[in-house]
Amino acid sequence: MDLLNLLLDSSNSQALKQLASGFGISESDATNALSGMVPALSGGLRNSLSNAGGQAGLLKALAGGSHQRYVDQPETLTDASTITDGNAILGHLLGSKDASRRVASDVAAQTGLDDGLLKKMLPAVAALVMGSMSKQTAGVANATSSSGDNSGMLGMLAGLLDADKDGSVMDDVVNMARKFL
């Protein structure tokens, strides 16, 4: 299951409901916003996985962070501390505020949702993405920290980020880079 489908899965319905109510939109609009934002965030994650420094940072964040709380306690998605954490996540994934603004603008064009609303929503979605990945990789992360072998966790992450399900995230990274260039 890829990351978007994981977030839209019925087990995450409370998070979707919280995003909708927290930002004053319908669940359908929240689904559309996620459908536009998550692929861009996944592209940033794939880009991080394509270099050793990015891999190490992501693995450390997933293993040591407390991101799972965003899935387990979706009522925290619109808290100021979540937005702060989400903005930090966006900085790591997208690299700049301009890239974040571009994502919000692109999603607004696709969905008809307000650009300003999407800019406010993006950090909460980034936190939810990290929370979902953290939750999915929790068991592997614990084994990784004791053995030092990251291959299982990287394999699980690759499965979540392989947009076209061809077994490789590299073509997805190249396609994402083309969109931004």
pLDDT tens, 38-93?
998 988 888 877 777 777 777 777 777 688 899 889 999 999 999 999 999 998 88
Range of the domain at 133: 3-180
Residues 6+ away with beta carbon under 8 Å from 67: 61, 85, 127, 130, 131, 133, 134, 135
Q: How many distinct structural domains can be found in the chain?
A: 1
Residue 115 has pLDDT above 80, yes or no: yes
| pLDDT tops 50 at residue 179 | no
Least confident of 10-19, 96-105, 126-135: 10-19
Task: Determine the pLDDT at residue 163.
Answer: 53
Q: Which long-range contacts (CB under 8 A, 24 or more apart) does 10-15 make?
A: 12/71, 12/132, 14/74, 15/70, 15/71, 15/74, 15/77, 15/128
Categorize the per-residue pLDDT at 175 as very low, low, confident or very high, splitting at 50, 70 and 90. Answer: very low
Query: To which residue do tokens 């980034």 refer?
Result: 126
